[in-house]
A = this chain, B = another copy of it.
């Protein structure tokens, strides 16, 4: 079992995402790992990603964290189910429910739970918490990019 982050196992050609690409120098470079049958990403956003009112995170960043961690979770789940190297997933659909203001400059826990793997489709339930308090939750439908087909 590897402790290498999911995103560090993406093929180079798909590793340029602002949120999670290890080859995007100016990006967030979030990292996701297994935690039992769930997945975890810990991340502390910079203060510039403020919401309208200072001290809290803007909604787009919350959606970004759930999206990128969701895609990584889908890739890892599919790879584990088939005992293959990680492929790359893209988002078909993302739903986010904002439950409480998310503090900024605070370590955030983003968690994923796989609820369905069917062919190239993986469904992931997601939560974002700060200091143990649930701030947002959501669901993502992720679809694997076919290998040898970059179109």
Interface size class of A (residues with CB under 8 A): 35 or more
Determine if B92 and A94 form an interchain contact, defined as CB atoms under 8 angstroms apart.
no
Main secondary structure of the interface of A (DSSP, over half): mixed
**What's the minimum C-beta distance from A145 to chain B, rounded to whole angstroms?**
8
Asked if A42 is at the interface (CB within 8 A of a chain B CB), the reply is: no
Copies of the protein in its oligomer: 2
**What's the minimum C-beta distance from A108 to chain B, rounded to whole angstroms?**
14
Partner of A51, one of B16, B63, B96: B16
Asked if A50 is at the interface (CB within 8 A of a chain B CB), the reply is: yes
A residues contacting B by CB (< 8 A) are: 10, 13-21, 24, 26-27, 48-54, 58-61, 63-65, 67-68, 71, 88, 90-98, 150
